Structure 1
Amino acid sequence: MSDWLKLLLLGILSVVFGIVILGAPVVASVAITTLTGILLLIGGGAQIVGGFTVEGAWGKIFAIIMGIVMALLGWSFLSNPLAGTLSLAMVVMILFAAGGIARIILSFQMRGTQLFWPTLISGLLSLALAVYIFSNATAGLALSLLGILMGIEMLFNGFGLIFAAFFVKRNGPTAQQPT
């Protein structure tokens, strides 16, 4: 099977999954939270085991405590996935707000350049999105936020792969290698 056809099929598959995820964003959000919980449990267990190999008493204690915290957080996500989903949505909201504020501050340092307005607008949009998430957290948006973001990312990824497939088909396999 040719490279461009593989990219095309992966792109189509990603678009289909994106549509499915957007059709059930709460289910996708809970699945993301469950997977996060599993990974935190595994990571916490590995951190605890690895903590016993750390040199120095304080380093060992810190590593083991961090492993316990990670494992407890993972267990919390697995035992109550809806609350975990809300927690992760709030983390995303905080990250949007922090990124927006940082870009707004950065934009004023770029005043007088062509990057001022795009950076300012980007920061304001991120901040507005954080405010929107915060104001609609009780309206169920927080429960579906992770699924919506994942579905949108799957769509963007799929369309990007489809466009890349047509580029590779038109320009041949040599277009993939930088010169």
Structure 2
Amino acid sequence: MLSWKRWLFAGILSSAFGIIALANVVAAAIAAVTLTGILLMLAGAAQIYAALAGRDDNRVVSLVLGSLTFCLGALLIADPFAGTFTLALLLTAILAVAGGVRLVLAWSMRRTRIFWIFLLTGAASVLIAGVILANFAEVSPILIGILFGVELLGNGIALIALALFLRLGGSR
């Protein structure tokens, strides 16, 4: 199978999964939270192992952080629906902080051509974070699923575009 066909297949598969996730965003959110929990447990277990196997000065810190990471993963797996609220709150905070940083940067670049880009994207991020917080109880169970589905769909579209680019001969 040619390289471009593999990318096309991966793009179609990712797009299909994105559409499926967007069709049932709550189930997609629970799946994403469960997967996050599993990965956190694996990372925590690896850090605990490294702390117990090592002999450096950071053993205690590594053991505590590994244990916390493992426990966080276990909590997400134990109640993934509640985990959607936690991750939604974290994402909302990141969105608000990133928007605020862009607004501060916009102010410092007010005499440049990119002032408006930073101002508009920063304001949009802060506004979206505010809308999410204002409707947090209703929005948070679906927010993770929507973001997961949109990411899969966007990834699929990008992979399909890459496949078509490769099929047509690359950089002409």
TM surpasses 0.5: yes
- Find the counterpart in structure 1 of residue 34 from structure 2: 34
Structure 1 residues 125-144: Cα deviation after superposition (integer angstroms, max 9, x where no partner)? 111111111111111x1011
Q: CA deviation at 1:54?
A: 4.2
Q: Which moved more, 1:163-172 or 1:146-155?
A: 163-172
Structure 1 residues 146-171: Cα deviation after superposition (integer angstroms, max 9, x where no partner)? 11001111111111122222222222
Amino acid corresponding to residue 133 of structure 1 in structure 2? I
- Find the counterpart in structure 1 of residue 66 from structure 2: 67
CA distance in 1, matches of 2:77, 2:14: 27
- Find the counterpart in structure 2 of residue 7 from structure 1: 7
CA distance in 2, matches of 1:91, 1:144: 14
Equivalenced residue count is 171
CA distance in 2, matches of 1:163, 1:76: 39
Amino acid corresponding to residue 8 of structure 2 in structure 1? L
Structure 1 residues 49-102: Cα deviation after superposition (integer angstroms, max 9, x where no partner)? 21131412xx22111111111111111111111111110111000010010001
Amino acid corresponding to residue 132 of structure 1 in structure 2? V
- Stretches of structure 2 that go unaligned for 5 or more consecutive residues are none
- Given the two structures, how large is their TM-score scaled by the length of structure 2? 0.93
- Find the counterpart in structure 2 of residue 127 from structure 1: 126
- Find the counterpart in structure 2 of residue 147 from structure 1: 145
Give the superposed CA RMSD: 1.5
- Stretches of structure 1 that go unaligned for 5 or more consecutive residues are none
- Find the counterpart in structure 1 of residue 113 from structure 2: 114
Identity %: 37
CA distance in 2, matches of 1:168, 1:49: 44
- Find the counterpart in structure 2 of residue 161 from structure 1: 159
- Given the two structures, how large is their TM-score scaled by the length of structure 1? 0.89
Amino acid corresponding to residue 71 of structure 1 in structure 2? F
Amino acid corresponding to residue 55 of structure 1 in structure 2? D
Instruction: Give SS of 2:92's match.
Output: helix
